[in-house]
């Protein structure tokens, strides 16, 4: 299984080999637009993001959005008043992972 970063590098390298710098740029762009080649790669990412947002992979867009908003309210450091720096950083990290999981689910399942 090849990660998407390697796919981009391979695409750029092959493009450069075939057509020089312009080919490298085209190879990079084309490989960036490719969907995961193996179904398991996309499924594993989707499952991980669904676990982060505490939803099922078959949940509706409304359910995903509702869970995302609930969890952001639960973990957002600005909504918890005074806390020490370590707790605030931990909550910022959790909110960041929630944001990333939500955007990934939206991208994979193609909803707004």
Reported as a single tens digit per residue, the pLDDT across 77-108 is: 888 778 888 988 888 999 999 999 999 999 98
Give the pLDDT score at 83. 82
User: Mean pLDDT for the chain?
Assistant: 77
| CA–CA distances in Å: residue 16 to residues 2, 20, 54 | 20, 4, 43
Q: Report the candidate in 31, 38, 35, 33 with the shortest Cα–Cα distance to residue 16.
A: 31
Give the pLDDT score at 38. 43
Specify whether the CB–CB gap between 52 and 98 falls below 8 A. Answer: yes
- Region at 2 (left for phi over 0; alpha for psi -120 to 50; beta for the rest): beta
Give the pLDDT score at 88. 85
pLDDT digits (tens, 9 = 90+) for 27-76: 556 555 555 444 556 788 999 999 999 999 999 999 999 999 999 999 88
Spell out the residues 6+ positions from residue 72 whose beta carbon is closer than 8 angstroms to its own: 95, 98, 99
């Amino acid at each position: 299984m090849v990660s998407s970063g390697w796919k981009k590098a391979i695409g750029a390298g092959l493009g450069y080999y075939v057509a020089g710098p312009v080919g490298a740029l085209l190879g990079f762009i084309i490989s960036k637009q490719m969907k995961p080649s193996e179904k398991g790669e996309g499924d594993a990412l989707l499952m991980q993001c669904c676990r982060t947002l505490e939803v099922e992979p078959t949940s509706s867009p409304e359910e995903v959005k509702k869970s995302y908003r609930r969890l952001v309210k639960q973990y957002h450091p600005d909504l918890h008043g005074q806390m020490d720096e370590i707790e605030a950083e931990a909550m910022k990290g959790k909110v960041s992972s929630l944001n990333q999981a939500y955007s990934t689910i939206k991208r994979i399942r193609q909803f707004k």
